[in-house]
Amino acid sequence: MRIGIGGPVGSGKSSLIAALCRELAAQLRLGVVTNDIYTTEDAEFLRAAGVLDVERIVAVQTGCCPHTAIRDDIAMNLEAVEELERNQGPLDLVLVESGGDNLTAVFSPALADAQIFVIDVAGGDDIPRKGGPGIARADLLVINKTDLAPYVGSDVELMLSEARARREHLPVQALSLVAPAGAQHVASWVRERQQRFAAGEDLPSSVTGVPDHHHSSHAR
């Protein structure tokens, strides 16, 4: 199974992946594909974190087009996933980290079986209201760095309630990687998804490649 992890620059995608690897590495055969815009920084961060064998982390460079690499032209990412599987044997779960991008970036269903969108309180508590396909329809929306909310003047409860209103039945998870529970809730969601996927359950991702429906209804 492949899970795409997207979201704006600095929202904490790499740290979440590191935390997920810590939680899941003992139970699942894991691989990580990072998509960097300008360097191999994300891959190096994860390798340095020591959460996974370095050979299980591969970097794809995206020529300053992170959204292209996960949606419009996924050839390089698919090659990277297959390279991981060739070299590491069968994997239960590959996490594909998008390069930090804007709110419209989503993963092609041909690349990711499910996707997590990560935003953070420091980006402003109006972000759930602004919406976009990742916020509205990612299979899981993570609102990260809740511990910083008092310092940046963001209202976590407002963010959660506006996100839930926008997403109807789709889950939203508040996250603070410095809190005792850390990424346990997100890891449980990932594990449950992976188990259902492995059992052959049909789990169509809630995100399709089309623009946000609010947006397109305006256009019409």
Partner 1 sequence: MVLSMLLADGRFPAGTYAHSLGLEQAVADGLAADEVPGFMGARLRLVAEPESRIAVAARRVAHSGGVSAVAVVEDEWAARCPNPVLRECARRLGAGLLRSAAIALPSALIDAYRHASRDTPRPVALGVVAAACDLGDETLARIVLYDDAATVASAALKLLALDPAQASRWVADLAAWIDDAAREVVADARPLTEQPAPAAVGLELGATVHARRRERLFVT
Under 8 Å between Cβ of 131 and 106: no
Q: Which of 73, 126, 155, 192 binds partner 1 (CB under 8 A)?
A: 73
Q: 108 or 173, CB closer to partner 1?
A: 108
Q: 73 or 192, CB closer to partner 1?
A: 73
How far apart are alpha carbons 8 and 67 in whole angstroms? Answer: 11
CA dist list (Å): 61 to 6, 19, 50, 56, 172: 15, 23, 22, 17, 30
Q: 73 or 155, CB closer to partner 1?
A: 73
- Catalogue the E-assigned strands of the chain: 2-6, 30-36, 57-61, 93-97, 114-120, 140-144, 172-174
Quick note: the x/- pattern for partner 1 over 33-52, rule CB under 8 A, is ----xxx-------------
Q: Which of 34, 62, 146, 194 binds partner 1 (CB under 8 A)?
A: 62
The reply on whether position 195 binds partner 1 by CB under 8 A is no
The reply on whether position 55 binds partner 1 by CB under 8 A is no
The reply on whether position 61 binds partner 1 by CB under 8 A is yes
Quick note: the x/- pattern for partner 1 over 76-115, rule CB under 8 A, is x-xx------------------------------------
Residues 6+ apart with CB under 8 A from 52: 21, 25, 30, 32, 46
> What's the half-sphere exposure (Cβ side, CA atoms, 13 Å) at 164?
10
Which residues of this protein are in contact with partner 1, per CB under 8 A? Answer: 37-39, 61-65, 68-69, 72-76, 78-79
